[in-house]
Amino acid sequence: MASNNIDNWEQYLTNEDYVYLIQYIDNIKNGILNDKMIILVGPSRSGKSTLQKNISSYLGDELCGDYQLSCDFIYNENIKTIRIFLWN
């Protein structure tokens, strides 16, 4: 993966988590289904939005997008793209 923005996250993750993140993103880029979701949780100003923006920038608008929260989406679709669930 050739993205400096995403590569910068290596220092904040365990090696195992970083490798998983890169593989997950590469799967999306190559149209391969991921069997799990990644959920970012943490206090404000911990980097969740920045990581989301870095991934979205790398993958582009076609593979990323906002999605209003609906459990039907999670249970009824094989997720091939990254969806950013908005909690308002």
Query: What is the reported pLDDT for 64?
Result: 76
DSSP string, 18-79: HHHHHHHHHHHHTTPPPSS------STTSSHHHHHHHHHHHH-TTTEEEEE--HHHHHHS--
Regions of the chain where pLDDT drops below 50: 1-3, 88
> What pLDDT is recorded for position 16?
94
**pTM of the full structure:** 0.69
Q: How many structural domains is the chain composed of?
A: 1
Question: Alpha-carbon distance 70 to 19, whole Å?
Answer: 29
Q: What is the pLDDT of residue 88?
A: 42
Contact 61, 82 (CB under 8 A): no
Q: Which residue has the tokens 């923006």?
A: 53
Residue 20, pLDDT score? 92
70 is in which domain, residue-wise? 4-86
